[in-house]
């Protein structure tokens, strides 16, 4: 099995036609057929069902192509990073983040990185907690920044910033900062929460805010987008919790009450796969020692 065979299989999976795939690869069709046959023999599985008219992926082929695409992407990244290291260049890093991270610490972190490691390129991806865990484990991210993550055992983490939660209310809501007593005043309200599947630990923390106040929140909408949550609150379709930092710079016509006197806090946390530390020790040393002002 070699890289050319893997790349040929990927192209064939996209074209599902030997003639067009061979043309794309700039080889003759018999050579492509031979590559695929040798690959299947090496693996011990049929990847493509073919007859005179059609080419289809088998179930084994679907799995193989999916994983092979990840492998090729990772290999290209390894080749590029190796060349960068050899030539003394900073290279690039891919960073995942949640909304509140961008509103608080991430711009400062990026500024520090650019100052300390000139020439480094950063690729930024806004992602929920769950997707960050998976991407870090599959080497699709170098670093993640999540809010109250449930950190998998094979990842490392460091809390960089602790924030108060606020409750988001429509502008015409009867509760104001002046008559607010505690969270129990919202016992009969309808709530907008993130989805449990995408951030179970974060959602449980929001639930405990309500449980500590003596009620179970009635959740009628789920969204992992802070801006969508703002819009739903603005429309009077429910109320919501957010880290105070998520509201920085927002222009939505809603009102907020900061929850200073509850034990639950928004913990803005850096995540990384320890296997990646050796690839860019300077970067990880910088980030592990970083402190917010």
pLDDT in tens, 161-182: 899 999 999 999 999 999 999 9
**HSE of 100, CA atoms in CB hemisphere, 13 A:** 29
Alpha helix (H) residue ranges in 117-242: 129-137, 200-212, 226-234
What are 229-272's pLDDT values in tens digits? 999 999 999 999 999 888 876 778 899 999 999 999 999 999 99
Is residue 104 within 8 Å of residue 164, measured between CB atoms?
Answer: no
The angle that helices 3-15 and 18-25 make with each other, rounded to 10 degrees, is 130
182-203 pLDDT, tens digit per residue, is 999 999 999 999 888 777 889 9
CATH number among 3.30.2310.20, 1.10.10.10, 3.40.30.10, 3.90.650.10, domain 3-84: 1.10.10.10
Smallest Cα–Cα separation from 129: which of 238, 271, 226, 2?
271
Residue 237 is given by DSSP the state S
Is the separation of the CB atoms in 283 and 113 below 8 Å? yes
pTM: 0.65
Question: Is the Cβ–Cβ distance between 77 and 267 less than 8 Å?
Answer: no
* pLDDT (tens digit per residue) in 22-32: 999 999 989 99
Q: What is the mean pLDDT of the chain?
A: 88
3-state DSSP assignment of residue 22: helix
Quick one: 241 exposed, middle or buried, by C-beta within 10 A (0-12, 13-18, 19+)?
buried
Residue-by-residue DSSP string for 178-189:
TT---GGGGTT-
The SS3 assignment for 168 reads strand
Instruction: Please give the Cα distance from 274 to 272 (Å, whole number).
Output: 6
Task: Give yes or no on whether 90-161+268-288 and 165-264 have one common fold.
Answer: yes
Q: What are the extents of the domains in the chain?
A: 3-84, 90-161+268-288, 165-264
Q: Tell me how far the alpha carbon of residue 281 is from its chain's centroid.
A: 23
Cα–Cα distance, 12 to 56 (Å, whole number) = 9
Q: DSSP state, 48?
A: E
Q: What is the CATH number of domain 165-264?
A: 3.40.190.10
Region of residue 138 (left: phi > 0; alpha: psi -120 to 50; beta: else): alpha
CATH of 90-161+268-288, one of 3.55.50.30, 3.40.50.300, 3.40.190.10, 1.10.600.10: 3.40.190.10
Predicted local distance difference test score (pLDDT) of residue 58: 92
What is the distance between the alpha carbons of residues 235 and 21, in angstroms, rounded to a whole number?
51
Instruction: Report whether 272 contacts 139 (CB < 8 A).
Output: no
- Gap between the Cα atoms of 240 and 194, Å rounded: 9
pLDDT tier at 92, thresholds 50, 70, 90:
confident
Strand partners, 192: 221, 240
C-alpha distances (whole Å) from 151 to each of 38, 267, 277 are 42, 12, 17
């Amino acid at each position: 099995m070699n890289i050319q065979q893997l790349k040929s299989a990927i192209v064939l999976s996209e074209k599902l036609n030997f003639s067009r795939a061979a043309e794309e690869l700039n080889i003759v069709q018999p050579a492509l057929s031979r590559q695929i046959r040798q690959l299947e023999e090496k693996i011990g599985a049929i990847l493509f069902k073919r007859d005179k008219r059609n080419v289809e992926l088998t179930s084994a082929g679907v799995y193989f192509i999916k994983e092979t695409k990840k492998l090729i992407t990772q290999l290209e990244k390894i080749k590029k990073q190796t060349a960068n290291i050899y030539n003394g260049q900073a290279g690039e890093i891919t960073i995942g983040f949640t909304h509140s991270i961008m509103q608080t610490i991430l711009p400062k972190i990026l500024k520090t990185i650019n100052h300390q490691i000139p020439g480094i390129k950063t690729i930024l991806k806004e992602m929920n907690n769950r997707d960050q865990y998976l991407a870090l484990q599959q080497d699709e991210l170098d670093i993640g920044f999540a809010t109250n993550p449930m950190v998998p055992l094979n990842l490392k983490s460091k809390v960089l910033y602790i924030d108060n939660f606020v409750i988001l209310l429509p502008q015409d809501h009867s509760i104001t900062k002046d008559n607010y007593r505690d969270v129990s005043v919202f016992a009969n309200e309808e709530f907008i929460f993130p989805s449990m599947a995408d951030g179970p630990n974060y959602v449980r923390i929001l639930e405990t805010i309500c449980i500590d106040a003596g009620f179970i929140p009635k959740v009628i909408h789920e969204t992992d987008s802070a801006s969508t949550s703002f819009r739903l609150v603005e429309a009077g379709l429910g109320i919501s919790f957010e880290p105070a930092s998520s509201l920085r710079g927002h222009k939505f016509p809603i009102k907020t009450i900061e929850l200073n006197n509850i034990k639950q806090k928004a913990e803005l946390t850096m995540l990384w796969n320890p296997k990646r530390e050796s690839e860019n020790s300077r970067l990880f040393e910088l980030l592990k020692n970083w402190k917010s002002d």
